[in-house]
Structure formats: structure tokens, C-alpha cells
Amino acid sequence: MTDLVAVGALTALIPRQFLDAAIAAHECRERRVRKLRAHVVVYLLIALCLFPDDDYEEVAEKLTGVLAFAGLAVGAPTRGAVTQARRRLGAEPVKEVF
């Protein structure tokens, strides 16, 4: 439960509009609707920093649980999907958010 609160605080402290602005500035918005949209990938990368001892799947489940609670249903991605999404996104928008 504490982990969900931490991830929930993350989404409250960093509004989606801020992420969308960073993504748009670096022109790395997804070109088609994907399971892992660009803003979700940024949240996931930040959450991975919050939980360094957890693997991708555990952190993704925490994040998707919080997003579902907020009415933004997203299925938990696989490790391969996260790797591909990170590659598509690139580092620049994440640097800007940090």
C-alpha cells in the first residue's frame, strides 16, 4: 500500500500536462495509439528510480494500479514492451522532466 501511495504522489506532483509538454518539445509523441503511451513511459521511468530493488514488471504493476484508480486504465506491460517504449521515447524528455 505504501508503494501505491508513493507512485500516486508521483503522479500528483508531476502533472501529465508537464510530461506532455516535454514530450511535445522533443517531438517524441507516439504516432499510433499504444498500450504504453509516452507520458506513461515517463512516469514508469521515474517510478523505476523510486523502487530500484523492484523489477520492471513490479513497478509497472504499481504504476498501472495507480493510473487505473485515477481513471486512466492501462494494462501492465511486459519487460520487452517497456524496453521498446523507452527506445521510442528517448532520453531528452526524461531529462527535461528531471
Give the tens place of pLDDT for each residue, 49-93: 888 999 888 888 887 776 666 666 666 777 888 888 889 899 999
Q: Give me the chain's average pLDDT, please.
A: 81
Report the pLDDT value the prediction gives residue 90, as an integer from 0 to 100: 92
User: Length of the chain, please?
Assistant: 98
Report the alpha-carbon distance of residue 86 to residue 90 in Å, rounded: 6
Pick 98 or 42 by higher pLDDT. 42
Report the alpha-carbon distance of residue 28 to residue 86 in Å, rounded: 11
Closest to 77 measured CA to CA, from 33, 47, 46, 37: 37
Report the pLDDT value the prediction gives residue 73, as an integer from 0 to 100: 61
Helices 38-50 and 2-13, packing angle to 10 deg: 130
For the chain, the domains span: 2-97
Q: What percent of the chain has pLDDT over 90?
A: 19
- Residue that has been written with the C-alpha cell 528510480 in this structure: 49
